[in-house]
Chain A
Amino acid sequence: MSIRERLSGNEAVAYAMRQINPDVFAAFPITPSTEIPQYFAQYVANGQVDTEYVTVESEHSSMSTCIGAEATGCRAVTATSSCGLAFMYELLYVAASSRLPVTLACVNRALTGPININNDHSDSMGARDTGWIQLYAENNQEAYDNYLQAMRIAETPDVRLPIMVCQDGFITSHAVENILIEEDEAVKAFVGEYHPEHALLGRETPLAVGPYDISPYYMEHKVQQAEAMKNAKRAVLDVAADFEKTFGRKYGFFEEYCMEDAEVALVLIGSTAGTAKACIDQLRAAGRKVGLIKIRVFRPFPGEELAQALSHVKAVAVMDKSEGFSACGGPLYAETCAACYDLPERPVLVNIVYGLGGRDVATEDIARVYDHLFLLTRNGGQGPKYIHMGQRSSEAEVL
């Protein structure tokens, strides 16, 4: 039986961790993810888990600890945000290329500088090419549910890649919502035990991890890694199907909201989807055909599926909550454009960079984006493609 409980996003993730009782937790605080190791410390102190709780001196060491523990044959977890994730950068690659399915709760926060503690996606978007699977949540329920599914996806034998379970700093991490949580035994049964084929300890033969790899082998290893990420697509769907069967909540690569007959649509990630849905409900009531695609899985990127879902739409605004400094749009925009390129008839695509450093986005802002999209359907897609929303200093303000 599911239980209704009021939990913040951080508490929901920590609660899921308690239920799973991972082998090793490497803990280092950074706003806004700090509460996760704090809640967990109390579980350790109360004897509610028997996890080895390692209070390291930096995020660099928390990821290093996870790498060592995971190679040993254990489930290793950590949580971080922003600069903490950036500090792990080199080790993110080590975890992925060593095929160690570490689970990282990423509470998204803007990257410094100037230093800013509020939400955007620049931290995990910066890590998008490190070889990690990335799941994103709209709300506390999804943060909890994604966490319950994460290890099974990551540990799938033909995947074996680390996984980032992302949620929006403060917006979901600190906001308390009424969510459904599952019983401990049901969670344990769903997540299961971890028995990797190879490990540093407790196997007949010793194991060597992390070689110096020269040109005749390196590329084969990279291709295996790339194949693993492709395999992760199927694992995401398989685990989601079992999750739905077990707990009744449905997940996929992305959520489509009012897309069947949509003329214009948004593609975005995270909590802004809630705001967009409220706006869509208002506009639909007024007879306007607007829709939304909320990306849940950014790595592996569901390019074909997304293109298919957008194929009947006239104009699309891809909303990036991070600035990639590519001079031609944010990372979600680049991926979406690439995905749509092979469509026989492509929608007009524009990029809206928004909400950086926690700048608020309201339903009125979303409504203006839809107005702009309708304008593009009438003028043949004329105008700027790469727009920053709500710029007080912008002279040529589009939105």
Chain B
Amino acid sequence: MAYNHKKELSKPERFVGGHRLCAGCGAGLVCRGMLRALDEGDKAVVCNATSCLEVSSFLYPYTAWEDSYIHSAFENAAATCGGVEAAYNVLKRRGKLDDTYKFLAIGGDGGTYDIGFQSLSGAMERGHDMVYFCYDNEAYMNTGIQRSSSTPRFATATTTPVGSVSAGKKQNKKDLTEIMAAHHIPYVAQTTFLGNFKDFHEKAHRAIYTEGAAFVNVMSPCPRGWQYSPELLPEICKMAVETCVWPLYEVIDGKWHLSYMPRKKLPVTEFMKLQGRFKHCFKPGNEWTLEAAQQYVDEKWEQLLEHCGQRA
């Protein structure tokens, strides 16, 4: 059925107001969006890694979650979710449970790309019937903006500051979506918040209703870490896609599909100039950083087109 934004937004909220996330933060959008993608009547258990999201949404004695929710630690959301799913299977098998539940793990890039990577890889390999959503804001924001393996090259973070001999982070961003695709799980996708959320919604729904393990990587800007004014969130997401810094695609049963082909691929500076974390790249003498950033995006984009069969 075609996506109907108005209808989707008229569903009761399952991640409600009163949480303490910042204005202009992507994490809340991921939560509302992923829960909206559940069919009405289906229940969920959310398994959350320690993160800004966790400390902002479940501060005793309040919770913003309408569904069952468990937070265990920073590095084990996927394994915890696997345990919940295993328990569901045995309760079903033994006739102790009738309802249909879906299992949604969610972590930031710190809890997903880095400290929770082993747990994620293990759970995906075992094929638990669950979806892992990463809200990727490209640094350890909860502890005060330290670099992660997801932080892009040249971004400043409090552990990769700019100085007389430093132009920000030295390494390129880890390509976790591709690594998850290499697990050969039934469904992997990369998305962000665009326009009426059609891309995000359809991918979240497909992920949840694909049997087996699924992974959805959502670029989720952070106004504090990326240094932008909250109202610029949609513009930044749009530019991430139009510059091919964050291409939208899916890998369904091993087949790569490009979700969106920009009519005219914009220069990476259109994305970078919106954010304070790249400010130093635009200073005289640092032209090389912009060139290197562009070159990296171009290479990755070409590789993706090849995966998706979009090249002659």
On A, residues with C-beta under 8 Å from B are 23-24, 26, 50-52, 54-58, 60-61, 64-74, 76, 90-91, 94, 98, 200-202, 206-214, 217
Q: Is the CB of B81 within 8 A of A68?
A: yes
- The winner among A68, A94, A207 for most chain B CB atoms within 10 A is A68
What are 5 residue pairs bridging A and B, where the CB atoms are less than 8 Å apart in the complex? A61-B123, A68-B83, A68-B86, A74-B90, A201-B99
Would you call B71 an interface residue if the criterion is a C-beta within 8 Å of the partner chain's C-beta atoms? yes
Would you call B122 an interface residue if the criterion is a C-beta within 8 Å of the partner chain's C-beta atoms? yes
In-complex Cβ contact of B87 among A23, A90, A206, A209 (8 A): A23
Complex Cα distance A64/B116, Å? 12
Q: Which of B48-68 contact A (CB under 8 A)?
A: 54-55, 58-61, 63, 65-68
Are A52 and B90 CB-contacts (below 8 A) given A68-B83, A71-B84?
A: yes
Are A200 and B70 CB-contacts (below 8 A) given A60-B76, A60-B119, A61-B76?
A: yes
Known contacts A65-B86, A66-B83, A217-B61; 5 additional CB pairs below 8 A are A23-B87, A201-B88, A208-B63, A214-B60, A217-B60
User: Which residues of the partner chain B approach A52 to less than 8 Å between Cβ atoms?
Assistant: 86-87, 89-90
Closest CB in chain A relative to B44 CB, distance in Å = 9
User: Which residues of the partner chain A approach B88 to less than 8 Å between Cβ atoms?
Assistant: 72, 201
Closest CB in chain B relative to A90 CB, distance in Å = 6
Are A57 and B83 CB-contacts (below 8 A) given A202-B99, A209-B70, A214-B60?
A: no
User: Which residues of the partner chain B approach A200 to less than 8 Å between Cβ atoms?
Assistant: 45, 68-70, 84
Q: Is the CB of A64 within 8 A of B97?
A: no
Complex Cα distance A68/B81, Å? 6
Complex Cα distance A217/B89, Å? 35
Q: Is the CB of B91 within 8 A of A73?
A: yes
Q: Is the CB of A69 within 8 A of B84?
A: yes
Closest CB in chain A relative to B302 CB, distance in Å = 34
CB-based nearest B residue for A51: B90
Would you call B82 an interface residue if the criterion is a C-beta within 8 Å of the partner chain's C-beta atoms? yes
Closest CB in chain A relative to B74 CB, distance in Å = 9
Would you call B101 an interface residue if the criterion is a C-beta within 8 Å of the partner chain's C-beta atoms? yes
Q: Is the CB of B79 within 8 A of A60?
A: yes
Instruction: Please report whether the interface of chain A is mostly helix, strand, loop or mixed according to DSSP.
Output: mixed
Using C-beta atoms within 8 Å of the partner chain, give the interface range for chain B. Answer: 35 or more
CB-based nearest B residue for A65: B83
The total of interchain contacts (Cβ-Cβ below 8 angstroms) comes to 160
Complex Cα distance A217/B60, Å? 8
Closest CB in chain B relative to A198 CB, distance in Å = 10
Q: Is the CB of B90 within 8 A of A64?
A: no
Q: Is the CB of B76 within 8 A of A72?
A: no
User: Which residues of the partner chain B approach A217 to less than 8 Å between Cβ atoms?
Assistant: 60-61
User: Which residues of the partner chain B approach A67 to less than 8 Å between Cβ atoms?
Assistant: 70, 72, 80, 83
Complex Cα distance A64/B95, Å? 25
Would you call B158 an interface residue if the criterion is a C-beta within 8 Å of the partner chain's C-beta atoms? no
In-complex Cβ contact of A56 among B67, B69, B79, B81 (8 A): B79
In-complex Cβ contact of B126 among A24, A54, A211 (8 A): A54
In-complex Cβ contact of B83 among A55, A64, A212 (8 A): A64
Would you call B73 an interface residue if the criterion is a C-beta within 8 Å of the partner chain's C-beta atoms? yes
Q: Is the CB of B84 within 8 A of A68?
A: yes
User: Which residues of the partner chain A approach B68 to less than 8 Å between Cβ atoms?
Assistant: 200-201, 206-208
- The winner among A50, A64, A73, A211 for most chain B CB atoms within 10 A is A64
CB-based nearest B residue for A61: B79
Would you call B96 an interface residue if the criterion is a C-beta within 8 Å of the partner chain's C-beta atoms? yes
User: Which residues of the partner chain B approach A90 to less than 8 Å between Cβ atoms?
Assistant: 73
Q: Is the CB of B91 within 8 A of A61?
A: no
User: Which residues of the partner chain B approach A206 to less than 8 Å between Cβ atoms?
Assistant: 43, 65-69
User: Which residues of the partner chain A approach B47 to less than 8 Å between Cβ atoms?
Assistant: 68
Per-residue CB contact flags for chain B residues 108-129 toward chain A (1 = under 8 Å, else 0) read 0000000000110111011000
In-complex Cβ contact of B58 among A54, A64, A65, A210 (8 A): A210
Q: Which of B262-278 contact A (CB under 8 A)?
A: none
Q: Is the CB of A57 within 8 A of B121?
A: yes
- The winner among A54, A76, A91, A98 for most chain B CB atoms within 10 A is A54
Would you call B94 an interface residue if the criterion is a C-beta within 8 Å of the partner chain's C-beta atoms? yes
Complex Cα distance A61/B63, Å? 26
CB-based nearest A residue for B103: A68
Complex Cα distance A209/B45, Å? 11
CB-based nearest B residue for A95: B72
Complex Cα distance A68/B79, Å? 8
Would you call B93 an interface residue if the criterion is a C-beta within 8 Å of the partner chain's C-beta atoms? yes
User: Which residues of the partner chain A approach B84 to less than 8 Å between Cβ atoms?
Assistant: 68-69, 71-72, 200-201
- The winner among B43, B80, B88, B125 for most chain A CB atoms within 10 A is B80
Q: Is the CB of A94 within 8 A of B72?
A: yes
User: Which residues of the partner chain B approach A50 to less than 8 Å between Cβ atoms?
Assistant: 90, 93-94
Are A69 and B83 CB-contacts (below 8 A) given A58-B118, A60-B119?
A: yes
